[in-house]
């Protein structure tokens, strides 16, 4: 049977039927009516998720029988099927009806029930990613109004990991999702992911935080452009820059996936507007999405140019600076 049909909804306790719109918690697998889940706003087992809680099918095989009307399994103790609502005849009579139905199907398909086989195969191989997306974004799997298929084409090979994170963020109503790549590599993460706006914004922020250090270097080397600030002022500026750098690193690491999501959504919408044909759009999404080592190398070259420009502002006493650094 489909794993959740006939099981009680974790929100209201009523059985989940064939007609219900069922959503599943991506963390523990607990099933809900969609309306119940939306009313709760989260899984009722969320406090136990960190401890590894997993939902389990609540019934034993001995408690179940097969419904002759829908072919799904339901409780022996009830008079109506929990899956389709049909009245259940005495179990011996039900078994005869089910055997007759199976025999007719086997005869129709040359001795093998292909319909049942493929239905069971589809149920057993249901993609967990799509189950998570449906739980978070609905049956149409529209993330920010964009089909998940376009997201997967645009993001590339890392799409399952990102879309799973987006599903969790959607269900938990949060923008936070830790990215170690963004935490360690800074703006280069966004250049690698072709998220141009956050890439240049974080790069500009890093360069701005370098300004106090540059001013101090200009003063040490006797540059005519130095501001002549006191040493105590530079100490205070250094502490402020250290705190700001740490805060910027945390923001980058905690919100990087959300920034990337917004940047990617903007690009995908533009491509969808320009290329309504599915085949052409898929090619363009794949070409303009994905990752770019060239962008990373370009950003490094940009930093080298910036460093060269900064060196031109230094004064003639470079040996003093070298002695201070050593």
What sign does the dihedral 58-60-61-67 (CA atoms) show? negative
Q: How far apart are the first and last CA of the chain?
A: 72
What is the Cα gyration radius of the chain? 30
121: Cβ contacts below 8 Å, ≥ 6 apart:
none
pLDDT in tens, 86-120: 888 877 655 555 545 554 554 554 545 545 544 55
Are the beta carbons of 164 and 157 closer than 8 angstroms? no
Q: Name the residue ranges covered by the structural domains of the chain.
A: 22-128, 180-325
Q: If you count them, how many residues does the chain have?
A: 326
pLDDT in tens, 144-189: 999 999 999 999 999 989 999 999 999 999 999 999 999 999 999 9
- pLDDT for residue 79: 85
pTM: 0.62
Strands (DSSP E) found in the chain: 22-24, 31-33, 64-66, 73-75, 142-143, 146-147
Write the DSSP symbol of residue 156. Answer: -
pLDDT in tens, 262-280: 999 999 999 999 998 988 9
Are the beta carbons of 311 and 290 closer than 8 angstroms? no
Q: How far apart are CA 134 and CA 67, in angstroms?
A: 28
pLDDT in tens, 186-230: 999 999 999 999 999 999 999 999 999 999 988 888 888 888 889
- pLDDT for residue 89: 83
* Confidence band for 295, pLDDT divided at 50, 70 and 90: very high
Q: What average pLDDT does the structure give for the chain?
A: 85
Element (H, E) at 247: helix 231-274
- pLDDT for residue 126: 47
- pLDDT for residue 93: 56
Lowest mean pLDDT of 52-61, 64-73, 90-99, 176-185, name the range. 90-99
Are the beta carbons of 7 and 15 closer than 8 angstroms? yes
Q: How far apart are CA 38 and CA 314, in angstroms?
A: 61
Are the beta carbons of 298 and 191 closer than 8 angstroms? yes
Phi, psi of 10, deg, nearest 5: -70, -15
Q: How far apart are CA 32 and CA 12, in angstroms?
A: 8
Nearest C-alpha neighbor of 315 from the set 231, 211, 227: 227
- pLDDT for residue 97: 58
CA angle 269/274/275 to nearest 5° reads 95
């Amino acid at each position: 049977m489909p794993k959740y049909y006939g099981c009680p909804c974790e929100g209201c306790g009523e059985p989940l039927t064939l007609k219900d719109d069922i959503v599943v918690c991506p963390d523990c697998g607990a099933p809900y009516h969609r309306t119940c889940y939306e009313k709760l706003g989260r899984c009722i087992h969320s406090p136990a998720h960190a401890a590894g809680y997993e939902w389990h099918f609540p019934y034993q095989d001995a408690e179940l029988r097969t419904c002759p009307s829908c072919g799904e399994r339901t409780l022996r103790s009830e008079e109506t099927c929990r899956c389709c609502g049909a009245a259940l005849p005495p179990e011996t009579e039900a078994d005869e009806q089910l055997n007759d139905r199976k025999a007719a199907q086997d005869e129709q398909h040359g001795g093998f029930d292909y319909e049942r086989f493929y239905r069971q195969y589809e149920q057993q191989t249901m993609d967990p990613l799509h189950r998570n997306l449906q739980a978070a974004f609905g049956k149409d799997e529209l993330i920010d109004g964009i089909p998940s298929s376009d997201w997967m084409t645009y993001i590339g090979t890392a799409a399952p990991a990102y879309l799973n994170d987006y599903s969790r963020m959607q269900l938990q109503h949060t923008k936070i999702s830790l990215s170690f790549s963004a935490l360690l590599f800074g703006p280069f993460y966004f250049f690698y992911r072709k998220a141009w706006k956050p890439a240049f914004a974080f790069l500009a922020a890093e360069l701005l935080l370098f300004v106090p250090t540059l001013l101090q270097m200009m003063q040490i080397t006797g540059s005519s452009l130095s501001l002549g600030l006191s040493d105590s002022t530079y100490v205070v500026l250094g502490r402020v820059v250290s705190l700001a750098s740490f805060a910027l690193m945390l923001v980058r690491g905690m919100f990087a996936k959300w920034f990337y999501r917004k940047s990617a959504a903007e690009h995908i919408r533009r491509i969808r507007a320009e290329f309504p044909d599915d085949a052409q759009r898929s090619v363009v999404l794949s070409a303009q999405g994905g990752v770019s080592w060239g962008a990373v190398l370009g950003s490094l070259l940009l930093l080298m140019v910036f460093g060269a420009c900064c060196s031109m502002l230094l004064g003639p006493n470079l040996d003093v600076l070298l002695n201070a650094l050593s």
